[in-house]
Amino acid sequence: MNNNKLKITFLGGVGEIGKNMTAFEYGDDIIVVDAGLTFPDDDLPGIDVVVPDISYLVANKDKIKAIILTHGHEDHIGGLPFVLDQIKAPIYGSRLTLALVENKMKEYPKVQYKAISVKPKNVLKIGPFAIEFIKVSHSIAGSLALCISTPAGNVIHTGDFKIDFEPIDGVMTDLQRFGELGKKGVSLLLCESTNVCRKGYSMSEKSVGRALEEIFEKHPKNRIFVATFASNIHRLQQILNLAEKFGRKVAFTGRSMINITDVGLKIGEITFDKKNLIDIDKIDKYADSELLIVTTGSQGEPMSALTRMAADDFKGIKIGENDLIVFSSSPIPGNEKCVYNVINALYQKGADVIYDELSDVHASGHACQEEIKIMHSLCKPKFFIPIHGEYRHLRMHKQLAMALGMEERNILLPSLGMQVELSPNSIKKSGVVTAGQRLVDGSGIGDMDSNVLRERKQLSEDGFCVVIVNINNVSGSVAGEPFVITRGVVYQDEAESFVQDAKNMIVASLKEQDLRGAEPAVIRNTIRRNVSNFIFKRTKRRPMVLAIVLLN
């Protein structure tokens, strides 16, 4: 069977942060680990989310036996609706992960799927694969690492993890099991690299709880807002515990915060007396000292609840001098400007703001250097591939592994689309498949070369101009004055003269041609070309020009 070779295909999450997806193929069987998404940057105007290109999986969909989810973060489960729309395979994950998937899939009622819950220490046998689930700590409950056993060797996929010596649920990352597997023999370690640039250990989640408790103690009279990641259920649990301890009613704002809290309460991952929960519309019935408002917007997202509050655009809440806003998070790289804009706006309204630079109000869910070293030392892998990080993270992780004694020839740096073949005694790059980004825009999915995307970029940078011209079909002359409208092309004080000059130019240029019997498409192209040249000479911009020709 395939000469004892395991083929691993990297479809997302390498050379980038987000849209994690890896396929493991042995003979005629494929299992897929994770199906994530990422969010668009400024180069993708109007795009909702970005998901992996799954052309390779679609071409081999009859071989796919399972989709295995390491945890419930969007960069690991967010692409599922677009995968399951084309590929029918059962999903495996922890109870919380599958509850979050169920909540997400409500938005896609036509997509049918089968979900099977697993627990740490369970072993799932699928064809030549035996997948063992291993408990790890992360910033969301229900996180699992995988040991994938095959005839080609044992592969450990860490998923996202940290080593928290004071976990909120009381169950540490199962270091003992990683050690046992290391003694049995690990052929390949796939280890996350997100925080490989950070020295030392990640902070314990309980340390955040202690910092938050100190804040509650010092601000007994303030109305307190806490912004955090909705998916960090352990953080939410600590916040809710503090609300009970200090006698505060809790109101949630933000759709994702409300949805995930409902899921957590439903399956018992969050415990809280529902009598202490109040609707956000009822907060005016309570004194500031009796309120805790838990909100989305910790990353300064434009439409999030906290960002709207900072802009006085949230019904029923007006930020003032007696408000304390705690950002129990740190800015994701690239979000710094948005976050600090919100913080500045809150300060300007008189509120006090506490964020990660001022207090230990956030703990990362990703392993730092010393924790990563522990994982390597326990697993003792024969071969190593760093995953889950930008290229700089992967490169530094390689250097860390070499510092621990691994030979460079036993380490591969992955890239999107790269395929690797693992045999009992070797590992090598074996090819490249189509991989990259698919852009989700409403109900449509496209690629980076989409005409729609190019047109949006043009509109956002240079604006547009619409020209409507009436042509007498018999005489070929322009009937009346052309109609010209521009948006984003010229400033208001220039607009009137600009438009008049454009009209005069259009009429003059059309008079030079015999338009009797001319095709409308020919006339449109002539107008479009002349108007584009006119605008470029006047403004040095190239807006989108739409020409409409009416024949009378």
- Measured distance CA(431)–CA(448) in Å, rounded: 23
Q: Which of 388, 446, 390, 418 is nearest to 50 (CA)?
A: 446
More confident residue, 316 or 217: 217
CB 195 within 8 Å of CB 367 = yes
pLDDT tens for 478-512 read 888 899 999 888 888 888 899 999 999 998 888 87
H/E stretch holding 8 reads: strand 6-12
pLDDT tens for 154-203 read 999 999 999 999 998 889 999 999 999 999 999 999 999 999 999 999 99
Cβ neighbour number for residue 2 with a 10 Å cutoff: 17
Give the predicted TM-score (pTM) of the model: 0.84
The pLDDT score that the predictor gives to residue 208 is 92
Tell the burial category of 208 from Cβ atoms under 10 Å away from its Cβ (0-12, 13-18, 19+).
buried
The pLDDT score that the predictor gives to residue 409 is 96
Tell the burial category of 486 from Cβ atoms under 10 Å away from its Cβ (0-12, 13-18, 19+).
buried
CB 54 within 8 Å of CB 83 = yes
**Statement: residue 335 has pLDDT above 80:** no
As a whole-number percent, the residues of the chain with pLDDT over 70 amount to 95
Lowest mean pLDDT among 9-13, 234-238, 334-338: 334-338
- C-alpha 477 chain-centroid distance: 56
- What is the set of domains in the chain, with CATH numbers? 2-200+364-446 (3.60.15.10), 205-354 (3.40.50.10710), 463-551 (3.10.20.580)
Nearest-10 Cα torsion for 348, 352, 358, 361: -120
State which amino acid sits at residue 248: R
pLDDT tens for 114-158 read 999 999 999 999 999 999 999 999 999 999 999 999 999 999 999
The pLDDT score that the predictor gives to residue 181 is 98
pLDDT mean across residues, the chain: 91
Mean pLDDT of 25-38: 95
Q: Which of 510, 365, 325, 503 is nearest to 72 (CA)?
A: 365
Per-residue pLDDT band at 1 (split at 50, 70, 90): very low
- Measured distance CA(6)–CA(1) in Å, rounded: 10
pLDDT tens for 391-441 read 999 999 999 999 999 999 999 999 999 999 999 999 999 999 998 888 777
H/E stretch holding 42 reads: none
Per-residue pLDDT band at 449 (split at 50, 70, 90): low
More confident residue, 471 or 43: 471
**Statement: residue 452 has pLDDT above 90:** no
